[in-house]
């Protein structure tokens, strides 16, 4: 039922605004609407910047919190036994 708004419909809406608010008030209403839109866009930009800053801080924290693998052994090499040998023991362990 509600199709596209064409030029005749826009003219009727404009005439209704003129009748309701008067020709003198329309520029003031338009100016107020423009300021509201500017304020809204400014706030949206600030929120996006805050989110971007939080996202970069989060990724920096995740990157720095990764496990330090510099002392890990490679899976292809056998793991060394770093325990000190007990006195009087041999290299071969008894099972």
Number of structural domains (the chain) is 1
pLDDT for 40 beyond 70? yes
* Full residue range of the structural domain in which residue 26 is found: 22-60
| Average confidence (pLDDT) over 76-84 | 62
Q: Is residue 77 part of a domain?
A: no
Look at residue 24 in the predicted model and tell me its pLDDT: 84
Task: Please state, in angstroms and rounded to a whole number, the distance separating the CA atoms of residues 67 and 52.
Answer: 25
What pLDDT digit, counting tens, does each position of 84-93 carry?
A: 666 666 655 5
Q: What is the pTM of this model?
A: 0.44
DSSP state of 25: T
| Average confidence (pLDDT) over 34-53 | 93
Q: Is residue 27 part of a domain?
A: yes
More confident residue, 62 or 49: 49
Q: Is residue 49 part of a domain?
A: yes
* CB 86 within 8 Å of CB 93: no
Task: Please state, in angstroms and rounded to a whole number, the distance separating the CA atoms of residues 73 and 80.
Answer: 9
| Average confidence (pLDDT) over 66-89 | 61
Q: Is residue 26 part of a domain?
A: yes
- Residue 58 backbone class (left: φ over 0; alpha: ψ -120 to 50; beta: rest): alpha
- Phi and psi at residue 13, to the nearest 5°: -65, -45
């Amino acid at each position: 039922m509600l199709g596209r708004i064409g030029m005749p419909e826009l003219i009727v809406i404009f005439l209704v605004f003129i009748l309701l608010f008067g020709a003198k008030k329309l520029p003031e209403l338009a100016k107020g609407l423009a300021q509201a839109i500017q304020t809204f866009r400014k706030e949206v930009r600030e929120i996006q910047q805050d989110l971007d800053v939080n996202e970069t801080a989060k990724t920096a924290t995740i990157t720095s919190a990764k496990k330090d693998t510099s002392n890990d052994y490679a899976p292809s090499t056998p793991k060394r036994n770093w325990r000190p040998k007990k006195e009087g023991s041999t290299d071969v362990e008894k099972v």
